[in-house]
Structure 1
């Protein structure tokens, strides 16, 4: 099951709107158990992990045990149910980490297998599977993607300076680690102020992995996004979505659309800004399951105010020591910290990563 979960996690960022599932098919022989096939949900969400593993195994699937990180689907979508494929392959036992909370499945996949005489065990490494499938679970139960907020801060707790050039806080190794987190997200989220201040690319710049760059999403209520911004210049190469308010200027929208940017007008919050709950619900409807927010303290605090932060990555770097005047943690996010649990730490050179999440 550990292998099945890991196989699925490798595909995070590629499979939306479907969950990134892993599957391992085992035959129990006289000399012990043998892995005969593995599978993971493929790019675009199909084929599903179970079908990949069964196709590799062929006749070796008959009488075997299938370990899968999420309950096999039982509904007809763009492909037939995986539960049917498992039954047809003659699998004798299915070990499933967790039940799928999607109302189209929700235990029916397990029921179909049991009705066919297949032994079903549920709950192996359930906690790890729940974390691995947080995006899918959040989308089908709360109608929005799971949100991971990343904030870099100095040892004094500052994220930047209000005047002057951008504060460089972390080193090369830490920046590479952030790019690795980007490729496991469906979308990278920033606000317009981050674009105007830093002009970021918001892509994955690791060797050989540029194609894994997520959708770039910019919250821009008044369409101030400049035509010469790097996210606009690369919009035809990397999908770029701008979410704006209903009364944003139409001439600015036309110019962005002509450059290859997708512009979406969403309900406002009454103060001339986009409603964050509506925005995340819209992104969930579009199929996104995992958002990686790199929009800085202002956007992070706004998300926290609406209880929209599921994971928090705090990176404390030594490069900006003694500088800065913008606190990394705003008041709303500080108030939410009691709801988050510290689940891990990583030291990369002089930079410390701390990973927090809702239980």
Structure 2
């Protein structure tokens, strides 16, 4: 904490307002390259003067949106409570840190540092201008809320969720390869809702050739849902021209080769922030082995199958001390099935922008995205 007084006092003073800023942030779009941000401006007496939130790329950022609702000079001496560190760069809009300084804001309270290599540094700019800055208020709640965007901003790739459905003994198909259906209708509908909430759905050519999936998000009656993920197919094998994926509402993206990191960097460059991976054991294991999975959704059915068809194969664990420990997030009952959601420990932040540039260069030299190929 960067302000005088202890953390408890600051949290008591600004915690409720920060939680309101997060509520405002949730009004913004949860897709694309921009974060969801909310802002509340308080008078010197602590009264709410204005509220704002970011409505998507190219629109006013939350701080500017809130300031636009005030008369000139009305923000002088006020406090801005923002869910993310005010940006410090000029893109399609100007720096929010400068807008706050120019408006006469005397204090800025924010929850989470901006990890963007171009956009971070707003707090320092505010301090240099004499603005009192307090950081870390409701940081845990804000980090969880912004988790997918923070991952994309820090690592230069989408937030990756790996999904599979299996029996209690970890089998994803019977001995003859049949798998429809292991789980019940409630679990399967939940999967479609997760697809609709994701920017992209990722599979391998093996899955496309074996199952001919449409990779769409559908409702209870089989109708297409309003939001559809972009279908992404990884691998070198040719996909038939009459494959169901080619009839998807979005043109499928075919990514040849086996460099998953490069593929994810390219997808991020296309504005994909969240990727939902529904892959067979080979590709799923490759994602896990490469450390590219942020969250796992495992749908468990109370049934036993036995046999060789396991959810994962070799993930680089040779001895029990090498096991990949996960953080259990929640367990939900879906009809007669259970959804287990677990998260992987936070990967290291890519503080060096050159690492992302290297990944981009590798993506360009080893494989190129081909739409409709």
Query: Could you say whether these structures have the same fold, taking a TM-score greater than 0.5 normalized by the shorter chain as the test?
Result: yes
Partner of 2:231: 216
CA distance in 2, matches of 1:209, 1:36: 39
3-state SS of 1:174 partner: helix
> Structure 2 stretches of 5 or more lacking a match?
1-17, 346-373
Aligned-CA RMSD value: 3.1
- What is the aligned length? 321
Partner of 2:125: 112
3-state SS of 2:116 partner: coil
Partner of 1:265: none
Is the alpha carbon distance of 1:304 and 1:86 closer, same or farther for their aligned partners in structure 2, counting shifts above 3 Å? same
Is the alpha carbon distance of 1:164 and 1:147 closer, same or farther for their aligned partners in structure 2, counting shifts above 3 Å? closer
- Select which of 137, 140, 143 maps to 2:150: 137
Show CA shifts across 1:307-350 (max 9, x none): 111211212123xx233641123341877763321122222222
Partner of 1:322: 304
Which sits farther off after the overlay, 184-193 or 125-134?
A: 125-134
8 Å contact kept, 2:39–2:83? no
8 Å contact kept, 1:63–1:90? yes
- Select which of 255, 262, 265 maps to 1:278: 262
Partner of 1:2: 19
CA distance in 2, matches of 1:144, 1:98: 19
Is the alpha carbon distance of 1:133 and 1:124 closer, same or farther for their aligned partners in structure 2, counting shifts above 3 Å? same
The reply on whether 1:17 has 2:33 as its aligned counterpart is: yes
- Select which of 111, 115, 120 maps to 1:97: 111
Is the alpha carbon distance of 1:347 and 1:180 closer, same or farther for their aligned partners in structure 2, counting shifts above 3 Å? same
> Structure 1 stretches of 5 or more lacking a match?
246-273
Shift of residue 293, structure 1, vs aligned partner: 0.8
Partner of 1:341: 327
Partner of 1:200: 213
Shift of residue 101, structure 1, vs aligned partner: 1.6
CA distance in 1, matches of 2:54, 2:317: 38
3-state SS of 2:233 partner: strand
Q: Which structure carries more strand by proportion?
A: 1
8 Å contact kept, 1:4–1:21? no
8 Å contact kept, 2:49–2:70? no
Show CA shifts across 1:276-303 (max 9, x none): 2222232233333321111133221111
8 Å contact kept, 2:42–2:48? yes
